[in-house]
Every structure is written in structure tokens, then in C-alpha cells.
Amino acid sequence: MAITDTTFIARSLRARLFSTVTTTAIVALGVALMLVLLAMRDAGEKAFSRGRGNMHMLISGPQQDPMVTVLNSVFYTGTPRNYLRWDQFEQLRAKYPFEWAIPTQLGDSYRGLPVLATTEEFFSRFQPADDTPWSLAEGRVFDKPFEIVLGADAAKKSGLTVGDHVFLTHGTPRHGEKGHVHDEFSYTVVGVLAPTATLHDRAVFTDLTSAWILHAHERREEALGPDAGKTGPGDLLDSDKKITGVYARVLTRPGASVGAAFQQVFDMLRRDPTVTVAAPDQEIGKLFSIVSNVDRIIIALAAVVLIVGSATIMLVLYQAMEQRRRQIAVLRVLGCSRRRIFGLVVTESAVIGAAGAVVGVLISLAGSRIVAGQLYQRLNLVAEPTPEPRVVLAVVLGTIALAAIAGLVPAVAAYRTGVIRNLRPIA
Amino acid sequence: MQSPALAIENLGFRYPGQREDLLGITGLTLDAGEQILLAGRSGMGKSTLLHLILGLLEPDRGTVLVAGENIHALRGPRRDHFRGTHIGMIFQTFHLLHGFTAIENVMTAMAFSDIPKAEHHTRAAALLDRLAITTPDAMPERMSVGQQQRVAVARALACDPVLVLADEPTASLDPENAGGAMDLIQNACRERNAALLCVSHAPSLVDRFDRHESLADLNNAASGGA
């Protein structure tokens, strides 16, 4: 096989194997970091957007931060601070042109899994993700008090199945704390939902009445002591009927995502001091605009790693040039032009950049999977980090270009190598 | 009529800062296949003359014609290509490329020529075989000095040059090996009808050449002839 430019470049890279591998690794790290961040940013935003499903707005108790209410009520990050009374909910439902308005209450838990008390409409009208209605993997949805339905992940984590009986815990105890268990009321698992790839998968669902009874029972026990007996629906007072949120969708023409009345309804509710209204889409957008400031910094850091990688290529090649001056001089005598020498060095630099970029892409694919796995394990956030081919291509080409630019300095040094000076006999 | 392998006319050269010409050669012609020993003391400009012939230095005046082509009239890559295809160079310390085997060193010379790539390996192997190199895939640093010189000779002849320049080719060798090395260079050039300009100050080489010149005689700069 003839000696070609590829041979010269390959031999040069092989002659400095350690520095070739090191510089490639640095470039790969920068590329991987950047691609993982870009992929995760998009996937995270999609995952959050997906969780709000087909609701238009979330209405909750007064004087709360809209973003916090969305995070609490839709993404189960905590328990809402204030509540709405049932009669308030009925008034809201009657007053505004809602296609549907579903009451929800958060506050109890089962072995750390959040319990969402709601109505059957939650399964028939609300869709956890756009165009993805609920479906059951097993059993049915609840149709009477003290029945529960498990989200797909909640079933997996708890090991419960249809027919099992459980007791719920008041609030969500912190790690290591025991919490108050409502052991007076046993719940029966009647269904397990199919996975939806949203945070709802880690929730346990029950009906509102049983949630109210649990807390009414506490009230009655405090007031009546052992004479309280077992609390039933008939013992409920209006003050027991509290909810923490309303998932609402305004009337919308078929095919449209948001109804024309949305803005008007939203503005009116915003002016109402007795409620807090939030549009999940907007709040998620706000959240990501805050996060994007942070990830811009991280992406900038990844870019710095890439630039440092390119600078390393430059230094390594420059140093190599110093050692290869005699070789360059010999090649010149053999008929190699200055331009070709220049091209060889720039290409060698670009090859290191390309190798780093390819390795970086491979690492980023694995890295994204690991980060996505951690997000799912820790937050139940189903992120699908599929790197956009356009973005990957841009990062790869950008890296190669950056490496080629880094090769210019050693290439100029090689171009200017004095042939005569470097051909003096070796002592 | 065939152009001489080398024709130097009124060549004058001085390094920047020098008050007098280092070289001032009125004329020197070397026909195809002719061999000449150019002797001279150290510092007289023997290597400088070779660099001028190779087109690595620009003369202050005069012309250097290699196979009828004024090498200094060629610019940039054209001059490099011409040098690679018309002139073979044998260095005192061989300057073989590290990281390349013996045969690859020979093929490297062809990498900048118009010889079809498919022929490179065959030609290089044949050359090395002719020069009794039995381990063409060995690294030069693992070869004896004599073998390294043969590889260097093969590289110089790889593109069938019209002119071979040898710069103190025996300076690195002991007297016994020096004779063998010169036999090798001279015979290889004769076989290929390449002219040989051997620059050396070794008196032992004088008898090997029918034609010898003294740089001091050629160089009229010192006598003010320039």
C-alpha cells in the first residue's frame, strides 16, 4: 500500500499515542457534556409539559405561588399550603365555562407515595398526557369510598396488587419518620393503571369522600373521644369537604388545544383573591426559563471544556512540531510542499477533533440514559433524551472546525520550518 | 540533444550580512550518468551549493539548470515537486524517517511524485532487493549503519532522478564500510543512468571518480572573479 497523507497522519498520531488519547478524551468530555445537557434540557421540558396533560389551568387555595401550586398539585413535589372549600369549587364550576373541572386533594401518602383524592372524572375526562387517556393494566377505577387505584410505578414500588388492603398515612413523613397511620380505615386496591410516562405513575388515587371521612374522623375523635364510633359519609360537615386543587379545562372547539375563553377565564380568576390560578404551561415555561439560565452557564462550561480541549490539541501538536522539524525538512527535500505540510497538520488536528466528537457522541448517548434513569428513579420524571440529529451534527462539525482552527498555530510552525537548519547532520 | 543533468552558470551566493560571495561558480556541467567528486574544506560552501541545486536557497545571481529546467524559476509547490521527482538526495546521517519501515521510507519519496500509487510498493521492494536489503519491513533504527545507508540510497533513487546529490556520504562510516557504501551509491547511479554529484572532503574518495573538481577552483569568489 502506498504512503499517503493518511499514513503520515496515522503515524504521527500513533507516535504520540498517549497525548493523542488524552486530547481525544478531553474533547470527547466536552462534546459529551454539551450533548447530554442539550438533550436533557429538551427532554426535561417535554417531560414536564407532558405531565400537565390536557388541563388548561390549575385552581388552588388563595395566596400561593402559582409555580409552587403546579409543582405540588401536578408533579407531586409537596402538599399545597391552602385549600378550597367544596362550595367554593361548586361556585367556580357553575360560574365559568369549563369543559370540565375536577377536584383533587393531596395530603396523605402510602409508604412515601403521594395519594391523590379525586373523583371518577379524573380518569374519564383528564388525560395525563396529550391524546393519551388513562388505561388500566389491571382491575377497574374506584367507584366507592375506600377503594384505591395505583399508578403503574406506585404498584411496582409498593408491590401491591388488586385485592390487597392498605392503610394510608397522614401527610408525607420525612425519611425515617413514622407518621400517623389512619389505621381505622382500610383501603382496597381495585385497579392498577398502565404506565403514562408522567409523574402520575407514582401516585395512588382514591375518591374524595374517603379522604374527607379520614380527616372528619380525627375531628370527631378529638371532640367525642371513644364515643365517636366509625365515621361515615353522613358525619361529614361542610367544613370537612376541602380540596387542594382543581384541574380545569375551558370549553374548547374540537381540534383546538386552548379555548377562546381561556384568557378571559384565567384573567378573572387571577383577580379573584380567594383562589390561586396557574396555567401549567406558563409555569413550566417560567421554571425552564429560570433553569435555562443555569444550564446556559453549564453549556458555556461545556464549551470551555471544548475550547480547552482544542487548546490542548494545539499545544500537543505544537510541541510535536518541535520534535518533528527534521522529519518535515526531509519531507520537503523529498518533494512535499509547504502547503501540504500545513494541510497535514491541520488535518491531524481535525482528526483528533473528529475522534473526540465521535467518542463524545457515544458517551453522551450512554450518559443521557444514565441521567434519565436517575431522573426517573429519584423524581419519577420520564425524560426521553433523544439527541436531535441536527444538534448532534452541529456540535460534531463545530468541534471538528474548532480543532482544525487549533491546528493552525502548529501548522504555521510546520509551514515555516527551516529546511536547511533542520537538515544539519545529527551529532 | 539531451540536456545535461546539471548545468550551473555564473552562480553567485552570499548569506545576508556577508561582505563577499560565499560561492561564485562560473560554470559546472554534469551530463546524464556522469559522476563527479566535489572536494573542498569545511566552510567553503559545499552544502550551500547542494542547497542551491535543490532549490532550497535562492542564488544572488546565475542559474542552476537541472535536466534543462531552471529550478529557481519554479515557484512554490512546482519547485518542490520538481525537486522530488528529478533530484535524489543522500544525507551524511541518512535522515530516515522514524516510525516508518525501510520500505515505507523508500515509498515516502514516491508519495510526492507522479508514479502511480499501485506501483510504489513493487518499485520500492525491487530497489531494496537490488540493494540487498532482506528485511524491508524492519524499522531503520534496528538496522546496521550500512543497511540504513542502503535504504537511504534506495530512497534517493526511488523516483528515478536525473541527478543524485550525496553530501559527505561516508563521513559517518569507518574506512572499511565507506568503500562499500561508495560502491553501492556509484553502482546504483550507473545502473539508473543518474548523474552523481558527491560532495566530500575525504581524500580516499578521489580515486573512485573519473572527474573531480575542487570547490576552491570552481569558486572564483575568493579571487574576486565574481
Instruction: For residue A11, give every residue at least 6 positions away whose Cβ sits within 8 Å of its Cβ, in sequence order, or none.
Output: B99, B100
- Packing angle between helix A389-406 and helix A408-415, nearest 10 degrees? 30
Do A145 and A168 contact (CB within 8 A), yes or no? no
B149 neighbourhood in chain A, CB within 8 Å? none
Element (H, E) at B36: strand B35-39
Partner B contacted by A331 (CB < 8 A) = yes
Q: Which of A34, A92, A43, A5 is nearest to A356 (CA)?
A: A34
Residues A302-311: pLDDT tens digits? 888 888 888 9
DSSP track, B18-39: -SS-SEEEEEEEE-TT-EEEEE
Share of chain A above pLDDT 90, in %: 49
Closest-CA residue of B relative to A330 is: B95
pLDDT over 70 (residue A37): yes
CA angle B30, B35, B38 (to 5 degrees): 80
Separation in Å, CA A415 to CA A40, A320, A328, A408, A410? 43, 14, 9, 10, 8
Q: Which residue has the higher pLDDT, A198 or A92?
A: A92
Do B217 and B41 contact (CB within 8 A), yes or no? no
Q: Do B81 and A426 touch (CB under 8 A)?
A: no
Provide the pLDDT confidence category of residue A175 given band limits of 50, 70 and 90.
Answer: low
Q: Which residue has the higher pLDDT, B102 or A175?
A: B102
Determine the Cα–Cα distance for residues A136 and A263; give it in Å rounded to an integer. Answer: 34
Query: Can you read off the three cell numbers belonging to residue B97?
Result: 524517517
Residues A190-224: pLDDT tens digits? 999 998 878 888 899 999 999 999 888 888 888 88
Pick from A326, A339, A419: CB nearest B56: A419
Provide the pLDDT confidence category of residue A379 given band limits of 50, 70 and 90.
Answer: low
Low-confidence ranges of chain B (pLDDT < 70): 1, 220-226
pLDDT of residue B222: 44
Pairing of strands A276-278, A165-166: unpaired
Domains of chain A by residue range: 5-47+287-423, 57-278
Given CA atoms B38, B40, B42, B44 in this order, what sign does their dihedral have?
A: negative
Closest-CA residue of A relative to B94 is: A425
- Packing angle between helix B76-86 and helix A338-379, nearest 10 degrees? 110
pLDDT of residue B36: 96
Determine the Cα–Cα distance for residues A385 and A373; give it in Å rounded to an integer. Answer: 10
Residue B126: CB atoms within 10 A of its CB come to: 13
B32-56+75-218 CATH: 3.40.50.300
Average pLDDT of the segment spanning A244-271: 86
A425 neighbourhood in chain B, CB within 8 Å? 91-93, 168, 171-172
Partner B contacted by A17 (CB < 8 A) = no
> For residues A401, A404, A406 and A407, what is the CA-based torsion angle, rounded to 10 degrees?
180
Residues A276-325: pLDDT tens digits? 999 988 888 888 777 777 777 877 888 888 888 889 889 988 888 877 89
Q: Do B113 and A420 touch (CB under 8 A)?
A: no
Partner B contacted by A343 (CB < 8 A) = no
Helix (H, G, I), strand (E, B) or coil at A186: coil
Pick from B56, B93, B155: CB nearest A420: B56
Determine the Cα–Cα distance for residues A55 and A92; give it in Å rounded to an integer. Answer: 16
Pairing of strands A98-110, A169-170: antiparallel
pLDDT of residue A173: 63
Residues A337-361: pLDDT tens digits? 999 999 999 999 999 999 999 999 9
pLDDT of residue B49: 94
Q: Do B83 and A425 touch (CB under 8 A)?
A: no
**How big is the A-B interface in CB pairs under 8 Å?**
86
Give the E-state strand segments of B53-177 in sequence order.
61-66, 69-70, 87-90, 163-167
Determine the Cα–Cα distance for residues A34 and A301; give it in Å rounded to an integer. Answer: 9
Best residue of B112, B141, B163 to probe chain A, by most A CBs closer than 10 Å: B112
pLDDT of residue A381: 67
Share of chain A above pLDDT 70, in %: 96
Element (H, E) at B217: helix B215-218
Determine the Cα–Cα distance for residues A336 and A341; give it in Å rounded to an integer. Answer: 7
Mean of the per-residue pLDDT values for chain A?
87
Domains of chain B by residue range: 32-56+75-218
Residues from B in contact with A at Cβ < 8 Å: 51, 54, 56-57, 76-77, 80-85, 89, 91-93, 95, 97-100, 104, 107-113, 117-118, 120-121, 155, 159, 168, 171-172
Q: What is the ipTM of this complex?
A: 0.91
pLDDT of residue B82: 97
A339 neighbourhood in chain B, CB within 8 Å? 76-77
Helix (H, G, I), strand (E, B) or coil at A148: strand
pLDDT of residue A382: 67
